[in-house]
Amino acid sequence: MSTRAVTAARSAGTSANLGARALYLGGESKKQVACTQEALVVTNAHRHVWRYPITRLARVVSSTMVDWSGPALSLCMRAGISIAWLNAQGQVIGAAHPQVRAHTSFATALELMVEDPEGLLRYQHWLRARRMNVFTRWAQSQGADQPLAANQLEATKRQWVYASQ
């Protein structure tokens, strides 16, 4: 499938990236990333070559030891694939995002979140925000029928929203 076809399929909302995964280009040795029309081509210091079809990539995480060619960066941007660069300590030092992100399936989005080192923490924050939303609506509905004391509301909030019980 050509890059144009991938881009068209993604913009149409189809699941062209079904089974897409994150590509991690880390390690201590130098690597180079070039491309063909349909794949990223990664070469390591020993001249071993790997090809990664662009349709199978959801995002790329790269170390600073990786040299990227302009065409490879452009291919990722056209295909809607974000690239993040990490330093030796594993901290993000920069990222490149396409103007229009690719449409991903819910399953792929969950996989990417689980693979992210901070994914579980972000999920826990999201759950707490949802519980707070439900609590707020519940508290408002209780005010009309039988008003609750402020300390009772706070105790319920601590127990349900923050302690998740």
β-pairing verdict for 31-35 and 39-44 = antiparallel
Averaging pLDDT over each range in 26-35, 70-79, 125-134, which range is the top one?
70-79
Q: Is 130 helix (H, G, I), strand (E, B) or coil?
A: helix
Higher pLDDT, 113 or 44: 44
Judge whether 65 and 27 are in contact, CB under 8 Å: yes
Long-range contacts of 26-32 (CB under 8 A, 24+ apart): 26/61, 26/62, 26/63, 26/65, 26/86, 27/63, 27/65, 28/65, 29/65, 30/65, 30/66, 30/67, 31/65, 31/66, 31/67, 32/66, 32/67, 32/69
24 pLDDT above the threshold of 50: yes
* Torsion angles phi and psi, residue 115, rounded to 5: -70, -25
For 43-84, how does the pLDDT look when each residue is reduced to its tens digit (9 = 90+)?
Answer: 998 999 999 999 999 899 999 999 999 999 999 999 989 999
pTM above 0.85, yes or no: no
Averaging pLDDT over each range in 8-17, 135-144, 145-154, which range is the top one?
135-144
